[in-house]
A and B are shown apart, each in its own frame.
Chain A
Amino acid sequence: GEDVEQSLFLSVREGDSSVINCTYTDSSSTYLYWYKQEPGAGLQLLTYIFSNMDMKQDQRLTVLLNKKDKHLSLRIADTQTGDSAIYFCAEIPPAGFQKLVFGTGTRLLVSP
């Protein structure tokens, strides 16, 4: 079947904005999530958006959702070196019974 796709790598300078993109598989997915994984650690829930929303802002994080194109993005404003990690988008398809389907992950590297 289709995969949830993300670009593998993103490199930015400290203070810049980062935009991480995700293409998900099912336009009927009700919730879409962004998780952060630091080296050797589990997954930290960053934010999520309900499918009837186009945008959600939470401090430095902005999530944009384009249901027509099945495109999700995460913008991190004023990126810091502590933001360096792998970021995963995830969806719960309608028939998924709460099973998260994860993207491939984007490794964000923030340089000073």
Chain B
Amino acid sequence: GAGVSQSPSNKVTEKGKDVELRCDPISGHTALYWYRQSLGQGLEFLIYFQGNSAPDKSGLPSDRFSAERTGGSVSTLTIQRTQQEDSAVYLCASSSYFSEQYFGPGTRLTVT
């Protein structure tokens, strides 16, 4: 079946603007994760959704970051008032319950 898809693949935005990044997980996967990959910080966890449980937001770097998952499927990561340090590749992954995670191709965000 289809893998994890993310859109857009690239996003360039001006400092101070809001952006939305989308993730479509593998069909049937109950868990969805967002990670960020940047030169300075490597790969870091942002947020985790599991079924209908409250999400684990412990990795979100500031209150400008939020995410939601509608209908237990598609997820949107929103960054408000973007800053240059938000420039990174944002990776989404999904998994079956307590199983290995499969990653999408990522969204490269550049804040100018």
Contacts and interface: CB of A to CB of B under 8 A. Distances in A.
Interface of A: 31, 33, 35, 41-45, 48, 88, 90, 97-102, 104-105
B98 A42 contact: no
Contacts, number: 50
A28 to B, nearest CB: 16
B59 A48 contact: no
24 contacts: A33-B100, A41-B105, A41-B106, A42-B91, A42-B105, A42-B106, A43-B91, A45-B101, A45-B102, A45-B103, A48-B100, A88-B43, A98-B31, A98-B48, A98-B95, A98-B98, A98-B101, A99-B33, A99-B48, A99-B56, A99-B59, A100-B35, A100-B101, A105-B42
Interface of B: 4, 31, 33, 35, 42-45, 48, 50, 56, 58-59, 91, 93, 95, 98, 100-106
B interface, by DSSP: helix, strand, loop or mixed?
Answer: strand
Contacts of B100: 31, 33, 45, 48
